[in-house]
Amino acid sequence: MKADFQNTYAALPDPLFVRQAPVPVAQPKGLALNEDLADALGISFDDDWADVVAGNRIPEGADPITQAYAGHQFGHWNPQLGDGRAVLLGEVAGFDIQLKGSGRTPWSRGGDGRAWIGPVLREFIVSEAMHALGVPTTRALAMVETGEKILRDDGLLPGAVLARVAPSHIRVGTFQYFAARQDLDSLAALFEHTADRHFDGTRDPGTVLQAAVERQAALVAQWMGLGFIHGVMNTDNAHVAGITIDYGPCAFMDAFHPMKVFSSIDHGSRYAFANQPGIAAWNMAQFATALLPLMDDRDAAIAQFTDIVHGFSDLFEAAYRQVFCAKLGVANTPDADGLIAQALDMMAEQGADFTTTFAQAEAGFDGTALANHPDFAAWFKAKADLATTVPINPQVIPRNHLVQQAIDAAVAGDLAPFHALWQAGKTPFKRPDDPALTAPPRPQDLVQRTFCGT
Ligand code: AMP
Ligand code: MG
């Protein structure tokens, strides 16, 4: 692998990271390489690219580290998390190149530092689809098998590593880590680094917080417009610059229900579909708290930051309206709010498939379960009064059962379903030839639960 590495994070003060090389694996085998992304970053891979992604060979110029962070997990404070199964090789063209599943690190606690092919494949497919759908996200550069089996609840599973690309991996929890330790020097260094990378170099924490809240509101509105459930919106999985990060038990909904949950560990439905905006606002409040030590006048800052965080709901409402008005093809005015809410209520009552219902918006919702609702005709007429634009909706999202089938096939050594799904996800607004890539799951294919990568 040849790339022009910069290692600006590794040049920050010591407490922000620990130097750590990826742990070599038995037998690297390349599964997928995202050549378009590599080209865009100016990375050239040789035939032995799998060795680099597996961590068996460190590319020239890289300075591998693991990053420190903390976080609230399901609302509970954990003062020390950190990259327990990932290393940051360095930055290329301003983007982090991270290996996930790369072995134990000083932050691994009881974990093995590894990932199995299931979550690696899921993150690859879903993050690339999100990118094609126009959602800010980390991306997938490459995926390898390690030739090692790792132990999970389901037994021994094939190990894998994902090479992931991101504008950075700076989380709300990264700020929390230093704020909680009252390590002001590190917090200030992290702040300046983050501001330079993501917030036009401002030195005003209030400006950063305001922009973070705006981006987070827009991001969650985009997720919801796709029926996407992140699944683990812990503060360590909340990127400060409004980028989707850490795809774990995430999923796109099939039949719409506002309280849908997929994650096997989300017992209290904390991260249910409709709870996502409230949780994002809560995460921004934690970000605000972590920025407070940087402010001279604490009381004034508390007042200012409280206002900014309270601004989340209006920002979210506006972003959500914009997303759903585009989906329905109606004018973006507050008058549309009732129409949107009623459409979703009817869909929930009918168990209508989220993606196919909206994909039929242009055709008058022909053949959808929504159209069978007793209130549909009146709603449709009201919508016609506000119609101004052509509805914009994806035909293809990586449906949960297809991701599961791709994982099952990959475990059995067949990558064809993975490639079909990846390919279809590159052009989500185009209907693929194969109807299996767009059809809702048959009852026997339905996936009710998704699992974390651990
Ligand atoms: P996640 O739920 O994937 O966001 O991870 C939460 C924390 O657990 C992070 O600090 C991860 O680095 C760590 N972690 C997750 N899986 C493993 C693993 N297999 N080995 C070591 N650490 C892990
Ligand atoms: Mg995480």
* CA 143 vs CA 31, 100, 260, 263: distances in Å: 5, 10, 30, 23
Nearest CA to ligand 1 atom 2: 452
Query: Pocket around ligand 1: residues whose beta carbon is below 6 Å from it?
Result: 81-85, 107-108, 111-114, 232, 236-237, 246, 248, 452-454
pLDDT (0 to 100) of residue 449: 85
From the CA of 159, the nearest ligand is 1
Best residue among 66, 81, 85, 123 to mutate for probing ligand 1, ranked by most atoms within 8 Å of CB? 85
CA of 14 to the centre of ligand 2 (A): 22
Cα angle vertex 261, ends 124, 122, to 5°? 10
| Closest approach atom of ligand 1 to CA 86 | 12
From the CA of 245, the nearest ligand is 2
Residue 441, phi then psi, degrees to nearest 5: -65, 145
Best residue among 81, 149, 235, 264 to mutate for probing ligand 1, ranked by most atoms within 8 Å of CB? 81
| Closest approach atom of ligand 1 to CA 248 | 3
Cα angle vertex 422, ends 420, 423, to 5°? 65
| Closest approach atom of ligand 1 to CA 101 | 19
The amino acid occupying position 100 is K
- The distance in angstroms from the start CA to the end CA of the chain is 29
CA of 344 to the centre of ligand 2 (A): 31
CA of 449 to the centre of ligand 2 (A): 19
pLDDT (0 to 100) of residue 450: 83
From the CA of 105, the nearest ligand is 1
CA of 80 to the centre of ligand 1 (A): 11
CA of 120 to the centre of ligand 1 (A): 13
Give the count of alpha carbons within 13 A of 216, CB side only. 32
Dihedral sign computed on CA atoms, order 334, 337, 340, 346:
negative
Q: Give the DSSP H/E element, type plus range, for residue 152.
A: strand 139-152
Nearest CA to ligand 1 atom 11: 84
pLDDT (0 to 100) of residue 453: 60
What is the Cα–Cα distance from 127 to 396, expressed in whole angstroms? 14
Q: Which residues are catalytic?
A: 236
From the CA of 67, the nearest ligand is 1
Nearest CA to ligand 1 atom 12: 84
| Closest approach atom of ligand 1 to CA 112 | 20
Nearest CA to ligand 1 atom 16: 454
CA of 246 to the centre of ligand 2 (A): 5
Best residue among 17, 108, 153 to mutate for probing ligand 1, ranked by most atoms within 8 Å of CB? 108
Nearest CA to ligand 1 atom 22: 84
CA of 191 to the centre of ligand 1 (A): 24
| Closest approach atom of ligand 1 to CA 236 | 4
Per-residue pLDDT of the chain (454 residues; tens, 9 = 90+): 999 999 999 999 999 999 999 999 999 999 999 999 999 999 999 998 999 999 999 999 999 999 999 999 999 999 999 999 999 999 999 999 999 999 999 999 999 999 999 999 999 999 999 999 999 999 999 999 999 999 998 899 999 999 999 999 999 999 999 999 999 999 999 999 999 999 999 999 999 999 999 999 999 999 999 999 999 999 999 999 999 999 999 999 999 999 999 999 999 999 999 999 999 999 999 999 999 999 999 999 999 999 999 999 999 999 999 999 999 999 999 999 999 999 999 999 999 999 999 999 999 999 999 999 999 999 999 999 999 999 999 999 999 999 999 999 999 999 999 999 999 999 999 999 999 999 999 999 998 888 766 5
Nearest CA to ligand 1 atom 13: 84
Q: What's the alpha-carbon Rg for the chain, to the nearest Å?
A: 22
pLDDT (0 to 100) of residue 154: 85
| 3-state class percentages of the chain: helix first, strand second, coil last, to nearest 5 | 45, 15, 40
The amino acid occupying position 338 is G
pLDDT (0 to 100) of residue 419: 98
